[in-house]
């Protein structure tokens, strides 16, 4: 279980996170929505060690992640994708996934099989020997997802996985994200502006506004909250 307590982060005079608490049980999907600039990406950056929060606590299965460098947070089981995908452009798809398994105790055959499994899952297997730079933006997002999954994470943080992805790919991604939680026993924090996907996938949803949680609950609760309708949908 991932727990975040009273997370705060300011940039100069701007309070990007004003005391956020989350609890992410194993195998669950937490949807995070909120206006542009409400602190969603900053929260992910604090969890995976890109930013050091000003205060608060972040722990995975009771062990603090606070102050650990990014690679150690990843090594302890937290995978992360980015709003703009970050893959190794000049490596093949297979090599991208192999690099992600550096330090794995598995032998070559087992690592290769795992890479193939995830490339097949995201429908990129036929391109396995191509360079990542030859992929479209949407395909790079899928490769990035495959790359974090071959590291067998306990938790993954997905930042806008559906942005810039065509509707068919998005539908496929929804299926994969659901399976990641249920079949691969991995918890997911899903940041997205795509409310339909958020409502469909999330077990619990938080709505962020100005660095704080405006409201939270299941899809029905969030959809009908007048504060959400006003602050988020602007109606």
The smaller minimum CB distance to Mg ion, of residues 96 and 209, is found at: 209
Rg of the chain (C-alpha set):
18
By a kind-dependent CB cut-off of 5 to 8 A, residue 39 interacts, out of ligand ATP, Mg ion, none, with: ligand ATP
Q: Is 96 in the site for ligand ATP (CB under 6 A)?
A: no
Does position 41 bind ligand ATP by CB under 6 A? yes
Do 171 and 184 touch, CB atoms closer than 8 A? no
At 155 the three-state DSSP class reads strand
Phi, psi at 127, each rounded to 5°: -100, 15
- Told to check if 78 binds ligand ATP by CB under 6 A, we report no
Q: Which of 41, 96, 192, 202 binds Mg ion (CB under 5 A)?
A: 41
CB 46 within 8 Å of CB 17: yes
Using CB under 6 A as the binding rule, whether residue 36 contacts ligand ATP is answered as yes
Q: Which two tokens stand for residue 74?
A: 């990843």
- C-alpha–C-alpha distance, residues 91 and 95, integer Å: 6
Q: Quote the CA–CA distance of 225 and 14 in Å, as a whole number.
A: 27
Identify which of residues 32 and 119 has a Cβ nearer to ligand ATP in the complex: 32
Out of 14, 63, 220, 229, the only residue in the binding site for ligand ATP (CB under 6 A) is 14
Query: Given the complex with ligand ATP, which of 42 and 202 has the nearer CB atom?
Result: 42
What is the closest distance, in whole angstroms, from the C-beta atom of residue 29 to ligand ATP in the complex?
A: 18
Tokens at 16, concatenated: 């990007």
Question: Which positions lie near ligand ATP, rule CB under 6 A?
Answer: 11, 14, 16, 34, 36-42
């Amino acid at each position: 279980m991932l727990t975040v307590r009273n997370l705060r982060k300011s940039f100069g005079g701007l309070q990007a996170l004003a005391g956020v608490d989350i609890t992410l049980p194993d195998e669950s999907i937490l949807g995070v929505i909120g206006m542009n600039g409400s602190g969603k990406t900053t929260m992910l950056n604090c969890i995976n060690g890109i930013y050091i929060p000003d205060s608060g606590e972040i722990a995975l299965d009771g062990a603090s992640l606070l102050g650990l460098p990014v690679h150690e947070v990843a090594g302890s089981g937290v995978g992360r994708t980015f709003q703009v995908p970050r893959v190794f452009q000049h490596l093949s798809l297979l090599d991208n996934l192999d690099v992600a398994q550096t330090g794995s105790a598995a032998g070559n055959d087992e690592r290769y099989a795992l890479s193939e499994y995830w490339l097949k899952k995201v429908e990129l297997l036929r391109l396995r020997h191509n360079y990542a730079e030859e992929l479209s933006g949407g395909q790079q997002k899928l490769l990035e997802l495959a790359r974090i999954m071959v590291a067998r994470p306990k938790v993954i943080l997905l930042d806008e996985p559906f942005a810039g992805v065509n509707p068919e790919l998005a539908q496929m991604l929804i299926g994969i994200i659901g399976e990641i939680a249920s079949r691969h026993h991995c918890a997911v924090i899903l940041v997205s502006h795509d409310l339909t996907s958020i409502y469909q996938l999330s077990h619990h949803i938080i709505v962020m506004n100005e660095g704080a949680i405006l409201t939270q609950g299941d899809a029905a609760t969030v959809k009908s909250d007048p504060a959400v309708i006003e602050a988020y949908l602007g109606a």
